[in-house]
Amino acid sequence: MRSRAPLAEVRSWPEGIRRRYRSLGLWTTETFAGFIEDRTARFADRLAAVGTDSLGAQHHWTYAELARRARGAAVRFQEIGVAPGDRVVVALPNVVEYLEAVLGLFRLGALPVFALPTHREAELTQFCTLADAAAIVVARDPGDADQTALLHTVADRVAAHGVLPPLVVDVSDWSRGPGSVSPAGLPLPAHDAEDVAFLQVSGGTTGVPKLIPRTHADYLYSVRESARICGLDTSTVQLVVLPAAHNFAMSSPGILGVLHAGGTVVLARDPSPRTAFRLIEAEGVTHTALVPPLAQAWVSAARRRAPDLGSLGVVQVGGARLADSVAPQLEEVLGVRLQQVFGMAEGLVNYTRADDPVHLVHTTQGRPISAEDEIRVVDADDRDVADGEEGALLTRGPYTIRGYYRDPRADADCFTADGYYRTGDRVRRLPSGHLVVTGRDKDQINRAGEKVAVDELESVAVAHADVLDAVAVGVPDDYLGERIVLVVRTEPGRPRPANLLDHLRASGLATFKIPDEVVHLDELPVTAVGKNSRRDLRRLLSAHLAADRGDPSRSAVTAATPSS
């Protein structure tokens, strides 16, 4: 295989700041390859992972078995030409091969690029092109013609950008045969802990998601501190129902925090209450993490079914704001302790603590991991506001990035001259340091914890021949947090485009970005300077959709049925 371009240079912390983080012991010399070798040896005989493989077979792996499989995966990647430093897109569901592949890439010294199985042509092409990916890791279904076509389309689009398309690695082949046996002496890669270890995917606030460079030192610091704050130990059994590649599921404290502590990771193929409740009872699950819509679904299902959740002690909720009214219900109905989590793949993570007063656990999204996390809450002119006042959240610290991967325009928009990251969140900071999330600054919709960039959706919509203009807005929804409503303006007197949703799906948008509803208006409200007014649209839509619920004969709204 032709060698890939070296990793592009990334913006990093100033040297003086790096020295401070080292001197405080926040950053160590441990790399992910060293982390894997150390923890799998330290906890060799303990149960590390439970889950099904891509063919549906159930597995229970000890730490020793996990180490063997990680080394084996490293050799598999090496044999097809993946080299240390190469980037590899991982787009797998919650199957045990996910752990095998990711830990194998770390063990080899290659850099995982964490995609989601719901990402489609647009996103996968962006990731493979921007990262110059050597391979893309999937679980192929021989009977799924759409998936095969998707991979061919991605390869064609990547080649059109002048980049060599990635090899396709199908982990289902790993389950069909024994493959290579890893040599016992597979050397550790020669990485520095302050090198980039992997690329995560942003929430996509300005179009197709950006790539986030995370180093061994910064990320492992957040993993260790998260595991400590959350009280993980060898008795922890963590159920992973969210996509494993999400930052929340990976490190807050997530999969890596559990492996750091010597606990057990249980992977669920789907997040439904039926599946989750069965696994909680069967595996003695003690911890899990949910987004608010799932939390509400679990509460509703538990009221109907009275499942045996006796082992479950902690439920984390993050990804979007949990309604204050739902928080006490979750604890009462599920019989658990709630921990609220507010974080981002770019870095900053906040937790409520076990010793926090109940009212802070129920009504805030926690406080930062580290005393070195610097928090500013500012007005429109970047002036700090008083505690208790709402403003835009800015942050920098020992695990918050200073720049995206190969995206100078985003760097200019999202980072201040002195290194603060503009999160796009609006918050109030309490005197205790706890944050209350009140909304978003950025043009982004948070649908069930998935971030959808409005300009990406709008640009695809206006490419339809019959659409003159389009505005995507998030409308409050009791279940999803926000539902996606696409407002379109068409040529007066012409029929409304009946195939608009098909057009959006055919563009390669991820399924979770397909609007929940399409609204047709003759004119769109504008601001004083002639821009489409999202605020007025949200107000109009809230009233309009409420009226629709009372009068089903109204025809201005076309309901969408996305498969996410």
The DSSP result for 86-108, as a single string, is -EEEE---SSHHHHHHHHHHHHH
The pLDDT, as a whole number, for residue 3 is 79
Residues 405, 197: Cα–Cα separation, whole Å: 13
Residues 180, 132: Cα–Cα separation, whole Å: 26
Residues 356, 373: Cα–Cα separation, whole Å: 19
What tens digit of pLDDT does each residue of 350-360 get?
999 999 999 99
Ramachandran class of 164: left when φ > 0, alpha when ψ lies in -120 to 50, beta otherwise? beta
User: Nearest Cα to 199, choosing from 265, 118, 110, 117?
Assistant: 110
In the CATH scheme, what architecture does the domain 270-440 have? 3-Layer(aba) Sandwich (3.40)
| DSSP per-residue string spanning 251-281 | HSSHHHHHHHHT-EEEE-SS--HHHHHHHHH
What's the Rg (C-alpha) of the chain? 23
User: Which helix H or strand E contains 427, and what residues bound it?
Assistant: strand 421-429
Find how far residue 453's CA is from the centre of its chain. 14
Is residue 200 a contact partner of residue 212, using CB atoms and an 8 Å limit?
Answer: yes
Place of tokens 């990093």: 12
Place of tokens 């371009």: 5
The pLDDT, as a whole number, for residue 552 is 41
Find how far residue 483's CA is from the centre of its chain. 18
Beta bridge partners of 426: 392, 439
In sequence order, the 6+-apart residues with CB closer than 8 A to the CB of 56 are none
What tens digit of pLDDT does each residue of 66-117 get?
999 999 999 999 999 999 999 999 999 999 999 999 999 999 999 999 999 8
Backbone φ and ψ for 169, nearest 5 degrees, come out as -110, 120
Query: In this structure, what DSSP letter does residue 477 have?
Result: E
Ramachandran class of 424: left when φ > 0, alpha when ψ lies in -120 to 50, beta otherwise? left
Is residue 403 a contact partner of residue 10, using CB atoms and an 8 Å limit?
Answer: yes
Q: pTM for the whole thing?
A: 0.83
Angle at 247 between CA 242 and CA 250, to 5 degrees: 70
Place of tokens 């919650």: 94
Q: How many CB atoms lie within 10 A of CB 203?
A: 23
List of E strands, 103-188: 111-114, 135-138, 167-170
Task: Give me the amino acid identity at 216.
Answer: H
What tens digit of pLDDT does each residue of 213-259 get?
999 999 999 999 999 999 999 999 999 999 999 999 999 999 999 99
Find how far residue 121's CA is from the centre of its chain. 18
Task: Give me the amino acid identity at 379.
Answer: D
Q: Do the domains spanning 32-176+190-261 and 270-440 agree at the CATH topology level?
A: yes
Q: Which residues of 36-46 are buried (b: 16+ CB within 10 A; e: fewer)?
A: bbebbeebeee
Is residue 401 a contact partner of residue 213, using CB atoms and an 8 Å limit?
Answer: yes
**Domain residue limits, the chain:** 32-176+190-261, 270-440, 444-559
Task: Give me the amino acid identity at 209.
Answer: P
Find the distance separating the first CA and the last CA of the chain, reported in whole Å: 36
CATH number of this structure's domain 32-176+190-261: 3.40.50.12780
Task: Indicate the fold that domain 444-559 takes in CATH.
Answer: GMP Synthetase; Chain A, domain 3 (3.30.300)
Place of tokens 């498969």: 563
Beta bridge partners of 337: 314
Report the DSSP pairing between strands 47-52 and 58-62. Answer: antiparallel
Beta bridge partners of 475: 483
Give me the sheet containing 467-477, strands edge to edge: 467-477, 481-490, 517-520, 557-559
Query: DSSP 3-state helix, strand, coil percentages of the chain (rounded to 5)?
Result: 35, 25, 45
The pLDDT, as a whole number, for residue 324 is 86
State the 10-residue block means of pLDDT for the chain, 564 residues long.
87 98 98 98 98 96 97 95 97 97 98 93 95 96 79 96 96 71 72 97 70 98 98 98 95 98 97 96 98 88 93 95 88 97 97 98 98 96 95 97 96 96 94 91 80 79 80 84 88 80 90 91 60 66 62 39 30
Q: Which long-range contacts (CB under 8 A, 24 or more apart) does 379-386 make?
A: 382/416
The pLDDT, as a whole number, for residue 559 is 36
Place of tokens 């998030």: 474
Residues 9, 67: Cα–Cα separation, whole Å: 31
- In total, the chain counts a number of residues equal to 564
Query: In this structure, what DSSP letter does residue 494 have?
Result: S
In sequence order, the 6+-apart residues with CB closer than 8 A to the CB of 409 are none
Query: In this structure, what DSSP letter does residue 187 have?
Result: P
User: Nearest Cα to 506, choosing from 150, 128, 268?
Assistant: 150
Residues 109, 82: Cα–Cα separation, whole Å: 10
The pLDDT, as a whole number, for residue 527 is 45
SS3 312: coil
Task: Give me the amino acid identity at 299.
Answer: V
Enter the tokens of residue 505: 């799906």
Residues 422, 438: Cα–Cα separation, whole Å: 15
Residues 369, 228: Cα–Cα separation, whole Å: 10
Residues 164, 35: Cα–Cα separation, whole Å: 32
Residues 492, 468: Cα–Cα separation, whole Å: 10
